[in-house]
Amino acid sequence: MRYVQYGIMPGHKKDYFLCILCSKRTKPSDRRKINQNIRKYLRRKFLIEAPSENSVICNRCRHVYRTETQETKRSDVCTHVACTSVLSSEDQNKQKRSMSSPPSVSLPLASTAKSHAYCCVCKKPGPKLVVVAAERRTAVFVEKNILIPPGNRCCPAHLHDGMFTSDAVKQLQTTENSFVNRTTITDLLQQMRLLCQRNEKQCLDFDDAKALTDTDYKSLLGITKANFRELCDSVEGLIKNTPARSLTTSVAIFFCKMKTGLSNVILSTLFRTSKSSLRRAISAVRKALLIKFVPENLGFTHISREEIINKHTRPLAQTLFGSIEKNQVILVLDGTYIYVNKSNNFHFQRRSYSIHKGRPLIKPMVVVTTTGYFVSILGPYLADRSNNDASILSHIINSNAESIRSWLNEDDVFVVDRGFRDALPLLADLGIQAEMPTFLKAGQKQMSTEDANMSRLVTKVRWVVESSNARIKRWRYLDRVLPTNQIPNIGDYVRIVCAVSNKFSPPLSSCTSKDEDDAEAAKMLHLSKQVNHLKTFVDENGLQRKTAVWKSASEVDLESFPRLDDEELRNLTCGTYQLKLSSSYMQEHLDGESDIYFHEEDNTLLRAKIQSRHISSKKYQLWIHYSESTVESWYCTCRAGARVVGMCSHIAAVIWYLSSARYGSDKSLGVRDWCKHVLDAADIPASVDESDSDSGESLPEE
């Protein structure tokens, strides 16, 4: 190293000279002597001393020295005549092309190898390589603490949106130490300074596509980066760019408000804008989306009946309630709730108060397909007794909202809940087939097997509207109690988020597996016509009253109960909802309060009691008959426990525990007990009678 510093490299018969600045091996024709001016320049610019008279500088470095010296003189002249104190853009570009200092500082930082001939990621040679820009090198340093030397190149496939992909960063091969020069350190500090200035200027920058990741867009706006750009394109020309905010910032403000539900005070801090500007941005985006985007993605006029039937209808629903030959449309209807503050207008306060919910609200009517696709959002409506679901549906049809009567045909199917019962005659007059869960008849405590089976067929299809309502409430602004001044805009907000869901979200229930849906529907239709033989056996033998014929599970080998996997359990329950509740039901009975008993004469018949999850004073008895390989029949005393199309949650919990969960190691079944973290006012320790306790000094023994 001592020879290199002097510019002489030994080791051959004839010594050769290295440039003191760039360490390049110089030919005799390329060597230039170092005069006094160059010595001063090297000392001032790079802190380099030329210790020997034999030290040389290459012709290229000497040319750069002369160019920079001339620019410095010209700049001094301009300053003297008061032309300007700022370098022109041409001078700045020339200054950027000035020479770099030689490596002189060793840092304990990971670094990639310096090479311009091959990719710094995969080591693939050129020529189709691109130079790694300073912004990309800085981003890798900030994220992974890895230095990439200036001038390194990489394959274009390793870059996405101008930045390294996560896989490319993982492939970087690094060394433990970095040997850098003053120029690299200066450039890195300058890039870090610009980064800090950008972050200080604006916390959320949606104008720069590289500022936030796709995950950030999903968390803040509820949509991906590509979806956001598409939304901005749809309202381009309808929203003006202002000095306070751009079009993309306005759209980001609106969807950030919808997704997070943050107050305008917090949003104004995040977006560095005033509250008045924030309100104007939200209003402008709302009006712009209603002009073009919403009509193209929501409403009875935006989609044809054929498209609903072919693309947005589950084969299971068609098999259960409809027919493709009849060209039937199957729609699921339900009202959702948007809560509002109590109004100082007493008339509106009375009309918006819901006795069912015990609070003021307004009700949009949601119309979806069997895959969860929003067909239309009608309303919103008031919430008093004159505006129940049946009254709202009657108003929609009689007022021909969105030309719904011309869109519907005879034999179309509406899947509704029991709140629409008063609208059934109107639907029958229009020739529309209504599917609704059955009612519990007067004087009965339990549905018949036939009624319970038919109700299960309806709920198998109707669950999508409940999940669609939950998808609306995932936009947190609509899940909060809204101020009364937003009541005129609530319907617009709901339509916008539903249109966004139609455009960018996947279906709630996939309709691609036609064979599986047809097979499941055929099985459910077959079971709906069956009789619950175990219920008949329990009633005829009075097994609800007799206790002597039962023996404890400790006296029976539980290994005789069949072991079932997840798929077999889903086939028994005809769904997954009951299985999701099983762990919560069984966790309450792990202490033995609900013992399992077996019949003395038939060990394949068991009885159990399960606590109701709604009423503390109510427990349900259930019976299960099984064989060596599967569960044959079941019956429960709950309201829907007599059905054979699937089973109630109480029966499913016992079967799930005995056939699968009891073999696991988690004794809590994944359900934590929060009662021990909260005090109970009824838990009062027994008082101690002071007369029974020892008091005073003990008497001495005689």
Q: List C-alpha distances in Å: 267 to 37, 100, 272, 346.
A: 59, 45, 8, 32
DSSP 677: G
Q: Give buried/exposed letters for 255-287 (b at 16+ CB in 10 A, else e).
A: bbbbbbebeeeebbebbebeeebbebbbebbbe
> Is there a contact between 147 and 112 (Cβ–Cβ < 8 Å)?
yes
DSSP 687: P
Average pLDDT of the chain is: 85
Determine the average pLDDT of the residues in 65-76. 72
Determine the average pLDDT of the residues in 521-529. 93
pLDDT at 200: 57
pLDDT at 555: 77
Domain 323-469+506-516, architecture per CATH: 2-Layer Sandwich (3.30)
Instruction: Report the alpha-carbon distance of residue 284 to residue 508 in Å, rounded.
Output: 31
Residue 108 CB contacts under 8 Å (≥ 6 apart), including other chains = 176, 177, 178
DSSP 457: H
The amino acid that residue 85 corresponds to is: S
pLDDT at 96: 46
Is it the case that residue 100 has pLDDT exceeding 50? yes
Q: List C-alpha distances in Å: 283 to 250, 267, 290, 544.
A: 10, 15, 11, 64
The amino acid that residue 357 corresponds to is: K
Q: What H or E segment, with its residue span, contains residue 652? A: helix 649-659
Distance, CA of 340 to chain centre: 26
Backbone angles phi, psi at 671, to 5 degrees: -115, 120
Residue 288: band (very low, low, confident or very high) from pLDDT cuts 50, 70, 90: very high
Interval 247-257: pLDDT, tens: 999 999 999 99
Determine the average pLDDT of the residues in 478-483. 96
Give the 3-state DSSP-derived string for 540-603, with helices as H, strands as E and coil as C: HHCCCCCCCCEEEHHHCCHHHCCCCCHHHHHHHHCCCHHHHHHHHHHHCCCCCCCCCEEECCCC
Residue 187: band (very low, low, confident or very high) from pLDDT cuts 50, 70, 90: confident
Distance, CA of 554 to chain centre: 46
Residue 701: band (very low, low, confident or very high) from pLDDT cuts 50, 70, 90: very low
Determine the average pLDDT of the residues in 285-292. 96
pTM over 0.85: no
> Is there a contact between 576 and 584 (Cβ–Cβ < 8 Å)?
no
CA-based R_g, the chain, Å: 39
Residue 278: band (very low, low, confident or very high) from pLDDT cuts 50, 70, 90: very high
Is it the case that residue 300 has pLDDT exceeding 60? yes
pLDDT at 104: 63
**SS3 call for 141:** helix
pLDDT at 80: 47
- 394 CB neighbour count, 10 Å cutoff: 17
Alpha helices in 175-221 (DSSP H): 182-201, 214-221
Residue 7: band (very low, low, confident or very high) from pLDDT cuts 50, 70, 90: very low
48: alpha, beta or left? (left if phi > 0; alpha if psi -120 to 50): beta
Interval 359-386: pLDDT, tens: 999 999 999 999 999 999 999 999 999 9
Interval 433-463: pLDDT, tens: 999 999 988 888 899 999 999 999 999 999 9
Least confident of 62-66, 257-261, 520-524: 62-66
Task: Give the DSSP per-residue string, 289-352.
Answer: HHHTHHHHHSSTTSS-HHHHHHHS--HHHHHHH--TTTT--EEEEEE--EEBPPPS-HHHHHHT
Is it the case that residue 415 has pLDDT exceeding 90? yes
pLDDT at 253: 95
Sign of CA dihedral 656, 660, 662, 667: negative
Tokens of 24: 């390049």
Q: Count CA atoms closer than 13 A to 326's CA, side-chain side.
A: 16
Percentage of residues in the chain with pLDDT exceeding 70? 88
Please name every residue paired with 153 in a beta bridge, in sequence order, or none if there are none: 119, 131
Please name every residue paired with 125 in a beta bridge, in sequence order, or none if there are none: 118
**SS3 call for 125:** strand
Determine the average pLDDT of the residues in 575-591. 86
Task: Give the DSSP per-residue string, 496-530.
Answer: HHHHHHHHHSPPSS----HHHHHHHHHHHHHHHT-
Count, residues in the chain? 702
Residue 73: band (very low, low, confident or very high) from pLDDT cuts 50, 70, 90: low
Which residue, 634, 591, 593, is CA-closest to 616?
Answer: 593
Kindly list the domain boundaries of the chain, sorted by start residue: 2-96, 105-201, 214-291, 323-469+506-516, 531-671
> Which of 75-79, 493-497, 653-657, 676-680 is predicted most confidently?
493-497
Least confident of 49-63, 193-207, 219-233, 297-311: 193-207
Determine the average pLDDT of the residues in 116-121. 86
* Cross-sheet strand order for the sheet of 25-26: 8-9, 16-18, 25-26
Which residue, 608, 604, 654, is CA-closest to 627?
Answer: 604
> Is there a contact between 268 and 245 (Cβ–Cβ < 8 Å)?
no
pLDDT at 229: 94
Instruction: Report the alpha-carbon distance of residue 27 to residue 91 in Å, rounded.
Output: 32
pLDDT at 140: 86
